[in-house]
Structure 1
């Protein structure tokens, strides 16, 4: 199935590893011209090389810009640099690092101030910088934001405060820019194998006094499937949602969670 991403121009935030890199890889595999970003140029160079090798794409099909999500000016300049390198923009994929999972009594207001910039303001800043280019011919904004905010739990105060706001932002963008041909959707990971999951398993093992294997087993036991999901699977879903093949999908949330989210609606 051709999902229509051949020669599309895509910019992916926070994509030197994890699900961000997985999405960038699938976009490149579908023939898109991709710019990846993070704050670490050395990791970016390695990620770009890895994507090129995995997809057998041309060297200039995957480029990178340094973009620090904790710095508003870097978000703006990084997005503008990506658009200039691509000669326009068809797809913006927003993403951010994993925030603290400490319980609320262990967090300060300064922790929330820092998280606001790295999670929500960076997303808004990238959208603001990208929208003029996306409106020129239409395009898609795909937000990678954990599905777990649908069922907020303990030790996730930072996530529970800021990530739902991205859902609201996405809905607003879909409503206000739909007439300009711009779609906006959220794709929600949960239980996708990654460095972030490994970190959470280590934390859980230490917190509950169990082994990491036992922590993994308990996590999988929460799912109707029998294993974690792969980054490749997640990347394929995000690439589809970002593609012309999903041209009637906007203002939506697509969970990629192995059935973890059980609400009927």
Structure 2
């Protein structure tokens, strides 16, 4: 399927590794001009070079900008600089790092402030900056938000509070800006094999005194597909939702989770 993004420009926040990198790679492979951001310039430079080396596209169509989601000034300069580099904007992919695992009793107010900035406020600010450019010719915002928000657990108090806010923001913006030709959706991952999942598997093995292989099998058995997903599968799903090929889809949540959320309506 032609996603019709060859003449489109895209920003992928938190795109130097994991899920963000997978999305940026797929959009670049489809021919879009892409700027990836993160807080670490060295990681960005390495990632851009690695993607350029593996994808047969014009290397100039993949760039990077430093954008620290914990710093409003960095978001402003990173986003506006990226838009200047691209000469406009058609696609915004918002993303954020995973909040630390804490029970409510363990958390501090300072941690709640930090995670609010890194998850909700940073997403709101990025969308505010992008909207005037998206309104010029229509476009899309796709927010990456973990599927686990559907089933809050005790140790995820920080994520449980703030991630649903991004879902609510998406629904609100989809209704408000649909008439301007702007689509807003969420893609909800779970069980995608990235460095973060590898870290969680290692933690599970340590906590339960089992092997890495047994811990990985436990994670796989959570899912009806009985396997973990690949970053490439996730990247393809997000690229589709963000592209004109999904032009009649807005206000929706696409679960890319191996069927984990299949029992939820």
> Normalising by the residue count of structure 1, what TM-score does the alignment of the two structures yield?
0.98
CA distance in 2, matches of 1:108, 1:212: 32
> Which residue does the alignment assign to 1:194?
194
- Compare 225-234 and 148-157 and name the one that shifted more: 148-157
> Which residue does the alignment assign to 2:216?
216
> Which residue does the alignment assign to 2:65?
65
Q: 1:112 to 1:264 in 2, by over 3 A?
A: closer
Q: C-alpha displacement at 1:242, in angstroms?
A: 0.3
Q: How does 1:1-265 map to 2 (within 5 A)?
A: 1-265=1-265
Q: Secondary structure of 1:48's match? A: helix
Q: Secondary structure of 1:73's match? A: helix
CA distance in 2, matches of 1:127, 1:8: 17
Q: Secondary structure of 2:237's match? A: helix
Q: Secondary structure of 2:255's match? A: strand
Runs of 4+ in 1 over 3 A off after TM superposition: none
Q: C-alpha displacement at 1:104, in angstroms?
A: 2.2
Q: C-alpha displacement at 1:213, in angstroms?
A: 1.9
> Normalising by the residue count of structure 2, what TM-score does the alignment of the two structures yield?
0.98
CA distance in 1, matches of 2:153, 2:171: 23
Contact 1:16–1:38 (CA under 8 A) maintained in structure 2: yes
Q: Secondary structure of 1:167's match? A: helix
CA distance in 2, matches of 1:263, 1:143: 22
CA distance in 2, matches of 1:260, 1:14: 25
Q: C-alpha displacement at 1:264, in angstroms?
A: 4.8
State the Cα deviation string for residues 153-189 of structure 1 (Å, max 9, x = none).
Answer: 2211111100000000000110111111100000011
Q: Secondary structure of 2:143's match? A: strand
Unaligned runs of 5+ in 2: none
CA distance in 1, matches of 2:240, 2:136: 21
State the Cα deviation string for residues 207-229 of structure 1 (Å, max 9, x = none).
Answer: 22222222111111111112100
CA distance in 1, matches of 2:159, 2:65: 27
CA distance in 1, matches of 2:162, 2:184: 18
CA distance in 2, matches of 1:184, 1:76: 21
CA distance in 2, matches of 1:42, 1:57: 22
- What's the Cα RMSD here? 1.0
- Compare 242-251 and 197-206 and name the one that shifted more: 197-206
CA distance in 1, matches of 2:260, 2:157: 20
Contact 1:25–1:54 (CA under 8 A) maintained in structure 2: no
Q: Secondary structure of 1:260's match? A: coil
Contact 1:142–1:241 (CA under 8 A) maintained in structure 2: yes
